[in-house]
Amino acid sequence: MESPDFSRVEDVKSRVFSLGVLLLATSCASPMAMDPIPPIPPKPSVSTPCLPPGVPALSTLVRIGGIPATGRARTSEGQVEPIPIFRSYWSSRIESDTLVLYIVTANRHIATVDAAPHEPDVPAWYDTGMMTETGEYIADGRPSCRWERAGTPRRPGVQT
């Protein structure tokens, strides 16, 4: 039985090691290797809608009814144009109390939340990125998560 020729294996190991050192040295010398690698941005996820203070997450509620409608939106040029809205009622049983919310969305974003729809003296909340303080929707509005109470005790965006 012949003894194996380990000198050839050692020669291959030496060449692989030399090649690795060479690759490492050239990559460290390149300007791109000196720049930090930017972090990978997180994948967009389904965002949780922003709600006014004290309103439970929609995931804990059940929509009990709704209807599409058309609201009025003010453009940045001051023109009034129609905007698709959706009016819906949501409910939850919290302990022994039943919570009912009246939510209006505009362009698929929550614009107003009335946490006391059966109490006309309690003003509704509105997102300042979606509505003006006069109760008009903003045509190109986006949720700001800054909630204000409507100035008068009525539902914003609903003409009386």
Task: Examine the domain organization and report whether 69 and 141 are in the same domain.
Answer: yes
Q: Do 65 and 10 have their domain in common? A: no
**Residue written as token pair 């003003």:** 123
pLDDT reported for residue 110? 92
Per-chain mean pLDDT for the chain: 77
Q: Which residues lie below 8 Å from residue 153, measured CB to CB, with a gap of 6+?
A: 120, 121, 122, 123
For residues 102 and 118, the answer to whether their CB atoms sit within 8 Å is no
In whole angstroms, what is the distance from residue 59 CA to residue 143 CA?
Answer: 18
- Is 64 a domain residue? yes
Same domain, 75 and 129: yes
Q: Which amino acid is at 79?
A: Q
Residues 67 and 145 both lie in one domain: yes
- Is 16 found in the same domain as 70? no
**The pLDDT value given to residue 49:** 84
Q: Residue 17: which domain range?
A: 1-34
Q: What are phi and psi of 20, to 5 degrees?
A: -65, -45
Q: Are residues 69 and 22 in the same domain?
A: no
Q: Are 117 and 56 in contact (CB under 8 A)?
A: no
What is the identity of the amino acid at 132?
A: T
In a shared domain, residues 21 and 64: no
Handedness of CA 50, 52, 57, 63 (dihedral sign): negative
What are the tens digits of pLDDT across the range 5-38?
A: 555 656 666 666 666 655 555 555 555 555 566 6
25 and 75 both lie in a single domain: no
For residues 18 and 63, state if they share a domain: no
Is residue 8 domain-resident?
yes
The answer to whether 105 touches 131, Cβ cutoff 8 Å, is no
Residue 90 lies inside a defined structural domain of this protein: yes
**What whole-number distance in Å separates Cα of residue 53 and Cα of residue 148?**
10
Residues 68 and 28 in one domain: no
Count of domains for the chain: 2
Determine, yes or no, domain membership for 27. yes
Q: Are residues 83 and 119 in the same domain?
A: yes
Residue 42: which residues within 8 A CB-CB, separation 6 or more?
none
* pLDDT tens by residue, 52-83: 998 888 888 888 889 999 988 988 888 899 99
Asked if 114 and 102 count as a contact pair (C-beta separation under 8 A), the reply is: yes
